[in-house]
Structure 1
Amino acid sequence: MYAAIRGAMWLHDLVQRLAVPGRKLESAGGGLADNLADAGGTIGRVPLVGDELTTPFERAAEAARAVAEAGRDQQELVDQLALALAVAVLVFPLGLVLFGWLPLRLRWMRRAGAAAALRSMPAGRDLLALRALAGQPLGRLTRIAPDVAEAWRRGDPATVDALAALELRELGLRADR
């Protein structure tokens, strides 16, 4: 999961680099618009013809502002794209964790919690042994005793303890607690 997050952050940063031309365009357009507006204002002070000469400068300044706005729009689009791609990269591994690993982990936690509670109860050893008899592979059971079911029915303490320990080990728990 850590690698997926780092990969998404790397992809986000990589896509954000595409916004550099937009920043330059915004800066250049804004600077040009300011300079043209200043020039138009200066020319507008010329007696008799000043008002007529400012119109082209005002139009050019407006066009430069449009270029700056295009740069801002490009940056906004790149920001949205970077975020969307980063989220898309995270969706699959996050889905695996949330819908694959997490339910299995929660199931194990319930089973291990129940087994740990049984371990400390007086009749818990017997229940864990019965659970081992019902769920463990036959090869493991016959390693405990050749007729493990008969030994369990007799209440043989060594067999019951071995079966309970086998079930606890299956869940990753120690039998000696």
Structure 2
Amino acid sequence: MKFYADRVPVALRQLLTDIFVVIWVYLWIRVALWIHDVVEQLAVPGQKLEGAGSGIADNLADAGGKVGRVPIVGDELTKPFNGAADAARSIAEAGRQQQEFVHQLALILPAIAVGVPLALVLFLWLPWRLGWIRRASVAATVRDDPAGQDLLALRALATQPLTRLAKLGPDIAQSWRAGDSDAVAALAELELKQLGLKRR
């Protein structure tokens, strides 16, 4: 497997790009974790609301139970306490719901924050990088074999810009078809240079 080019400028550019991508992904993961922590802080008011609502409901229910023991009018006196306790339980439930919403948001927002950069890496940079590794590995394997040089020359004829091919001579294709070793070597060198490789 060929991971980096033979030519120093190309290899340096590849190395710097790889380092940049790793740092970039790491920074986005750190940003996602920071977003998670910040959003989780929004659950604190819900926790306080739930605690306060539950405490008030318990106290009101306890007071209603004590008032209910009063003879004759006890049942009538407990109704306001029970109603207030139910209202306090509703407040506690609202606090629980707010916490659940915040916990869901603390998962969704970081996932979005890290998902987009990771998608760019996985669907743009990684296929490009793996494609180069695959092409360079094959080219490095066949570059010193005469038949491999012919394949590299054919690829150069098929993929290189016309301006580069024209610099090799106006009859470069005809020379390649005729099996001219100089033309084959020049075309193979052009393809290797495009990949950042050298002949051994």
Normalising by the residue count of structure 2, what TM-score does the alignment of the two structures yield?
0.65
8 Å contact kept, 2:144–2:199 = no
Q: Distance in 2 between matches of 1:87 and 1:102?
A: 20
In structure 2, the partner of 1:56 is 80
In structure 2, the partner of 1:37 is 61
Q: Distance in 1 between matches of 2:85 and 2:194?
A: 77
Percent identical: 61
In structure 1, the partner of 2:140 is 116
Asked which structure has the greater RCO (Cα within 8 Å, sep 6+), the reply is: 2
Q: Distance in 2 between matches of 1:172 and 1:37?
A: 80
Normalising by the residue count of structure 1, what TM-score does the alignment of the two structures yield?
0.72
8 Å contact kept, 1:164–1:175 = no
AA of the residue aligned to 1:25: L
In structure 1, the partner of 2:6 is none
Q: Distance in 2 between matches of 1:44 and 1:165?
A: 99
Q: Residue deviations 1:150-172, cap 9 Å, x none?
A: 9985436xx97786566445435
CA RMSD of aligned residues (A): 3.3
Q: What SS does the corresponding residue of 1:2 show, helix, strand or coil?
A: helix
Query: Which consecutive unaligned segments of at least 5 residues does structure 1 have?
Result: none
In structure 2, the partner of 1:66 is 90
Asked if 1:93 corresponds to 2:103, the answer is no
For residues 1-177 of structure 1, the aligned pairs below 5 Å read 1-119=25-143, 121=145, 123-129=147-153, 131=155, 154-155=180-181, 164=188, 167-168=191-192, 170-173=194-197, 175-176=199-200
Q: Distance in 2 between matches of 1:172 and 1:39?
A: 84
How far has the Cα of 1:3 moved from its partner? 1.3
What is the aligned residue count?
A: 172
Q: Distance in 2 between matches of 1:83 and 1:67?
A: 25
Query: Which consecutive unaligned segments of at least 5 residues does structure 2 have?
Result: 1-24
Query: Following superposition, which runs of at least 4 residues in structure 1 exceed 3 angstroms of deviation?
Result: 119-122, 129-139, 149-154, 159-170, 172-176
